[in-house]
C-alpha cells in the first residue's frame, strides 16, 4: 500500500496541476462543510428542544382543578372545582406503586424582604418531594423536609437568585430570617435549579405551614406526582388518562369537559417530542445525505473531466510501460487523497463555523450546535468510500484508453 | 528481431471496414536501421503501432524477439513495451509538467528501478544526447530539436531491443532534422535496432534499408548501403 515512489508521482501530478487539484478538492470541502454545519444545526435544534424539558423531571404529571365548562349531574357549568388534602390521599390509596413522588403545591406571588432589600417572588408551599420534580438541589444548607412539615415550622428554602437579590455579596442566607408577607421565615437552604434564573427566583415553604397561616384550610392548588419510571411511555400516558377520568368522576365533572380537571403529563409530551425530534433527524439526515451525494457526483464528474484532460499523458505512460493497474491506482489514489484531505478540511471549516456561530444562534433556538466524534469518524469513512467511488469509474476508463488513440496526432 | 508474415489490419468504419494493411511480410534483424517510406495514409503508422504493441493485428503472424505475439492482454503488452521497445513520436509526447530528467526517468519507474538509480541513469542518457545542462528544464523551455532528443533519451533509457520512431523529424526544420538523424545513426552504430517511419526522402536516405509502402502493401525493399549489411 505505501509506496513512496507512487505517492511521489501522485503528489507531483497534484502539485503541478494545482488549479485542477484545488477545484476538485473544493467541491468536497464545500459538501463536507455543509454536511457538518447542517448536522450541527440540526443537533442544536434538538438540544434546544430537549432543554425545554430538562428543567423539570421527565416523569412528572401535573394535575390541577379549573372551572367546569359543562353542566353535569345537576351542577351548573362554570363551577369552580377545588382540590383538598383528601385528593392527595385518594391518589395514595388508589394508585399504590404507580408513583415515586407526590406533592401538594400552592403557589403565590409574595413580597420577600431581608433588611432593606425586598422583591416579589413565587413562594411555593409544597411537600418535600418537590425537589425531585423541579430537579432543584441545595447549594447551601438543606431542602424542606418532612420534619418541617410535621412541625409546621416557618422555614423557607430560597433559590440562588433570591439570595443574590436580597443578600449582600459574600453573606450566606442560611440561618437568616426573611420576611414573607409579614411573617418571619428562617432560611434553611439555598438551591439551584436547571430551570434557570426564572426557577431560581422561587422559594419553597412547607405546605402544612402555608395551609395553617394563610386561611387555615386544607386547599390544594395543584398536585404534582412522579410516575414510576419503570413504566413505559404508553403505560404512563394511560396512567395519566386514568387519573383524569377518576378525578372527573370524583368531582362530578362531565367526562367530555376539557377544562374542569387539567392533567399535564410529561409522558404525553415525550411522545410528541419523540415524533418531532424523529422528524427533525430525518430532515437533517436527508439533507446531509443529499449534500454528500451532490459532493460525490461533483467530484466524480471532475475526475471524469480530469481523466479526459489527461488522456494523452496516460497514453504516453502506457506506451512507456505503465500497466492498466498502475494507471488505476494512480487515478484512484489521487481521488482518494483529494477527497479525504479536502473532506477533512471541510470538516474543520464546518466545525469552526459552528463554534464561531454558536453564541449567535441561541436566539434562533439552536443550542450547542456540534457534531460528535462518532459522526466525524462516520463522515471520514464515508469520504474515503466516496473518494473510491468518485475515482474508480474514471480510473477504469483511464486504464482502458488505448495508447494509440491517446497518442494520435490531432 | 521483428518477423512479420501475411499481416493484415483493418479499421472498422461503421458497417464497413477500412483495410489498411493487406498482407505484409517483413523481417528485420538485430542491429538494422530500417526506414518505412510511403505517402500519408499508406499505413505506416498502423504498421508501427502493431510492431510497437500499441495495437493488435487481425491476420498474420508477428514475432518480436523470437516471441509469437498473440492474445496479448494490456498488462503483458505493457511489460513487453517497457522491456523491449522504445518509442519516439512526431509530436515528442513528453509529459509537460515533468522536467527533461523526470521524463527520461519515467520508463524506469515502470520498470521498477529505484529512484536514485533512475535519476542517475536518466542523467547519463541526457548527457548522451547532449542535454545534461537542460536536465531540470520543463519541455516548454526546450526547442523542438531538444525535445526530440529528450524523447530519444527516454526511448533508450530502458536499453530496449528496438527503437521505433514515427516521423521523428516531421515537426523539425532541416538542421535539427540532421542532428536527430545523426543521433539515431549513432545509436544504431552502437548496435541498436532502429525502425523509422518517414515520408521524407532525405531522411530515408540516411538509413541503411528502405521499405516502401503503398496502399497497404510493400512495393519495394532495398538496402541503401550494401557494404554495411554484408
Ligand atoms: N484508429 C483508426 N481508426 C480508423 N482508421 C484509422 C485509424 N488509424 C488510422 N486509420 C486510417 O488508416 C489509414 C492509414 O493510417 P496511418 O497508418 O496513420 O497512415 P500513415 O501513418 O502512413 O499516414 C488512414 O486512412 C487512416 O485514416
Ligand atoms: Mg503516420
Residue B15 lies in a domain: no
- Whether B78 and chain A come into contact, CB under 8 Å, resolves to yes
| B53 is a domain residue | no
Residue B125: pLDDT band (50, 70, 90) is: very high
* Rg of chain A on CA atoms, in Å: 34
Residue A67: how many other CB atoms lie within 10 Å: 12
- Is the CB of residue B20 below 6 angstroms from any atom belonging to ligand 1? yes
Question: Minimal CA–CA distance to A389: which of A296, A290, A305?
Answer: A296
Residue B174 neighbours by CB under 8 Å, 6+ apart: B202
Helices (H), B5-92: 44-51, 74-84
Per CB-CB distance under 8 Å, the chain A contacts of B115 are 4-5, 8
Q: To test the ligand 1 pocket, which listed residue (B7, B18, B196, B216) has its Cβ within 8 A of the most ligand atoms?
A: B18
Whether A133 and A249 have beta carbons less than 8 Å apart is answered as: no
Please report the residues numbered 42 through 61 in chain B whose beta carbons come closer than 8 angstroms to any beta carbon of chain A: 49, 52, 54-55
B24 found inside a domain: no
Q: What is the dihedral of CA A220, A222, A223, A226, to 10 degrees?
A: -150
Please tell me the distance between residue B36's alpha carbon and the centre of ligand 1 in angstroms.
15
Residue A226 phi/psi, 5° resolution? Answer: -110, 115
DSSP B133: G
Task: Give the residue with greater pLDDT, A370 vs A18.
Answer: A18
End-to-end CA distance of chain A: 38
DSSP state of B11: E
Domain-located, residue B57: no
Q: Parallel, antiparallel, or unpaired for β B162-166 and B85-89? A: parallel
Write the residue in A321, A399, A402 that is nearest to B82 by C-beta: A321
Question: pTM value?
Answer: 0.68
3-state helix, strand, coil in chain A (%, to 5): 55, 20, 25
- Give chain B's largest Cα–Cα span: 53
Q: What pLDDT band is residue A410 in, cutting at 50, 70 and 90?
A: low
- What's residue B225's pLDDT? 64
Q: What angle do CA A224, A228, A234 make, to 5 degrees?
A: 95
What average pLDDT does the structure give for chain A? 85
Is B1 a member of any domain?
A: no
CA distance A190 to B78: 84
**Residue B49 alpha carbon, nearest atom of ligand 1:** 17
**Predicted local distance difference test score (pLDDT) of residue A381:** 77
Cβ proximity of A409 and B90 under 8 Å: yes
Contact between chains at A319 and B55 (C-beta distance less than 8 A): no
Residues B213 and B42 sit within 8 Å (Cβ to Cβ): yes
- Nearest chain A alpha carbon to B90: A409
Q: In whole angstroms, what is the distance from residue B133 CA to residue B131 CA?
A: 5
Domain count, chain B: 1
Q: What is the pLDDT of residues B61-79, one digit of tens each?
A: 999 998 999 888 888 999 9
Residue A409: the pLDDT is: 60
Given a cut of 70, is residue B157 above it in pLDDT? yes
Q: How confident is the model at residue B230 (pLDDT cuts 50, 70, 90)?
A: very low
CB atoms within 10 A of CB B1: 17
Task: Indicate which of B11, B54, B87, B99 best probes the interface with A, i.e. most A CBs within 10 Å of its own CB.
Answer: B54
CB count, 10 Å around CB of A226? 19
Q: Give me the domain span that covers residue B83.
A: 30-48+74-229
A349 reaches B (C-beta below 8 A): no
With respect to residue B5, please indicate whether it lies within any of the assigned structural domains: no
Share of chain A above pLDDT 70, in %: 94
Residue A88 and residue B95: Cα distance in Å, rounded? Answer: 90
Place of cell 460528535: A372
- CATH code (residue B155): 3.40.50.300
pLDDT digits (tens, 9 = 90+) for A386-397: 777 777 888 888
Give me the residues of A, 137-166, that contact B with CB < 8 A. none
- Short-list A25, A40, A31, CA closest to A353: A40
B103 close to ligand 1 (CB < 6 Angstrom): no
User: In the 8-state DSSP scheme, what is residue A363?
Assistant: G
Backbone phi and psi for residue A142, each to the nearest 5 degrees, phi listed first? -140, 180
If you measure from the C-alpha of residue A410 to the centroid of ligand 2, how many angstroms do you get, rounded to a whole number? 11
Cβ of A319 within 8 Å of Cβ of B54? The answer is yes
pLDDT of the residue at B218: 94
A311 inside 8 A of chain B by CB: no
Please say if the pLDDT value at position B214 is more than 50.
yes
Amino acid at each position: 500500500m505505501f509506496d513512496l515512489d507512487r505517492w511521489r508521482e501522485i503528489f507531483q501530478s497534484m502539485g503541478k496541476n494545482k488549479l485542477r487539484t484545488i477545484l476538485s478538492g473544493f467541491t468536497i470541502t464545500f459538501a463536507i462543510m455543509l454536511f457538518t454545519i447542517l448536522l450541527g444545526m440540526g443537533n442544536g435544534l434538538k438540544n434546544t428542544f430537549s432543554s425545554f424539558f430538562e428543567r423539570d423531571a421527565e416523569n412528572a404529571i401535573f394535575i390541577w382543578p379549573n372551572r367546569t365548562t359543562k353542566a353535569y349531574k345537576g351542577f351548573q357549568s362554570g363551577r369552580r372545582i377545588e382540590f383538598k388534602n383528601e385528593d392527595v390521599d385518594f391518589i395514595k390509596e388508589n394508585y399504590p406503586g404507580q408513583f415515586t413522588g407526590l406533592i401538594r403545591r400552592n403557589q403565590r406571588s409574595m413580597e420577600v424582604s431581608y433588611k432593606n432589600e425586598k422583591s416579589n417572588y413565587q413562594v411555593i408551599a409544597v411537600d418535600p418531594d418537590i425537589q425531585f420534580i423541579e430537579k432543584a438541589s441545595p447549594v447551601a444548607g438543606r431542602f424542606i423536609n418532612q420534619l418541617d412539615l410535621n412541625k409546621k415550622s416557618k422555614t423557607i428554602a430560597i433559590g440562588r437568585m433570591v439570595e443574590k437579590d436580597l443578600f449582600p455579596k459574600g453573606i450566606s442566607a442560611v440561618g437568616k430570617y426573611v420576611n414573607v408577607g409579614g411573617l418571619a421565615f428562617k432560611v434553611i437552604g439555598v438551591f439551584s435549579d436547571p430551570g434557570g434564573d426564572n426557577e431560581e427566583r422561587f422559594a419553597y415553604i412547607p405546605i402544612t405551614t402555608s395551609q395553617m397561616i394563610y386561611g387555615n384550610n386544607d386547599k390544594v392548588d395543584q398536585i404534582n406526582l412522579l410516575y414510576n419510571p419503570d413504566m413505559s411511555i404508553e403505560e404512563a400516558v394511560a396512567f395519566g388518562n386514568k387519573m383524569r377520568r377518576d378525578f372527573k368522576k370524583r368531582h362530578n365533572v362531565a367526562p367530555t369537559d376539557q377544562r374542569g380537571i387539567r392533567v399535564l403529563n410529561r409522558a404525553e409530551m415525550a411522545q410528541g417530542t419523540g415524533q418531532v425530534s424523529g422528524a427533525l433527524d430525518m430532515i437533517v439526515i436527508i439533507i446531509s445525505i443529499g449534500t454528500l451525494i451532490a459532493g460525490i457526483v461533483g467530484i466524480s464528474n471532475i475526475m471524469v473531466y480530469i481523466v479526459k484532460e489527461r488522456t494523452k499523458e496516460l497514453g504516453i505512460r502506457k506506451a512507456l510501460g505503465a500497466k492498466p493497474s498502475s494507471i488505476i491506482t494512480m487515478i484512484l489514489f489521487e481521488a482518494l487523497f483529494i477527497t479525504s484531505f479536502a473532506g477533512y478540511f471541510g470538516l474543520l471549516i464546518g466545525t469552526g463555523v459552528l463554534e464561531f456561530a454558536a453564541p449567535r444562534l441561541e436566539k434562533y433556538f439552536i443550542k450547542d450546535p456540534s457534531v460528535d466524534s462518532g459522526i466525524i469518524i462516520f463522515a471520514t469513512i464515508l469520504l474515503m468510500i466516496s473518494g473510491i467511488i468518485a475515482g474508480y469509474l474514471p480510473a477504469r476508463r483511464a486504464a482502458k484508453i488505448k495508447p494509440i488513440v491517446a497518442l494520435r496526432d490531432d | 528481431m521483428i518477423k512479420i508474415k501475411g499481416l493484415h489490419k483493418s479499421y472498422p468504419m461503421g458497417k464497413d471496414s477500412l483495410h489498411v494493411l493487406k498482407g505484409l511480410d517483413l523481417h528485420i534483424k538485430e542491429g538494422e536501421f530500417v526506414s518505412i517510406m510511403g505517402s500519408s495514409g499508406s499505413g505506416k503508422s498502423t504498421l508501427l503501432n502493431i510492431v510497437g504493441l500499441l495495437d493488435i493485428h487481425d491476420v498474420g503472424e508477428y514475432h518480436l524477439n523470437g516471441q509469437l505475439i498473440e492474445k496479448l492482454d494490456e498488462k503483458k503488452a505493457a511489460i513487453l513495451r517497457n522491456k523491449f521497445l522504445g518509442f519516439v513520436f512526431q509530436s515528442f509526447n513528453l509529459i509537460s509538467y515533468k522536467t527533461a530528467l523526470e521524463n527520461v526517468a519515467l520508463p524506469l519507474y515502470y520498470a521498477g528501478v529505484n529512484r536514485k538509480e533512475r535519476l542517475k541513469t536518466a542523467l547519463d542518457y541526457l548527457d548522451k544526447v547532449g542535454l545534461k545542462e537542460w536536465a531540470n528544464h520543463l519541455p516548454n523551455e526546450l526547442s523542438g530539436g531538444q525535445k526530440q532528443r529528450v524523447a530519444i533519451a527516454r526511448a533508450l533509457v530502458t536499453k530496449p531491443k528496438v527503437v521505433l520512431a514515427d516521423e521523428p523529424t516531421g515537426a523539425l526544420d532541416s538542421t535539427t532534422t540532421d542532428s536527430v538523424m545523426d543521433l539515431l545513426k549513432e545509436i544504431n552504430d552502437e548496435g541498436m535496432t532502429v525502425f523509422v517511419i518517414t515520408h521524407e526522402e532525405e531522411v530515408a536516405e540516411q538509413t541503411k534499408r528502405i521499405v516502401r509502402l503503398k496502399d497497404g502493401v510493400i512495393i519495394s525493399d532495398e538496402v541503401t548501403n550494401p557494404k554495411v549489411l554484408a
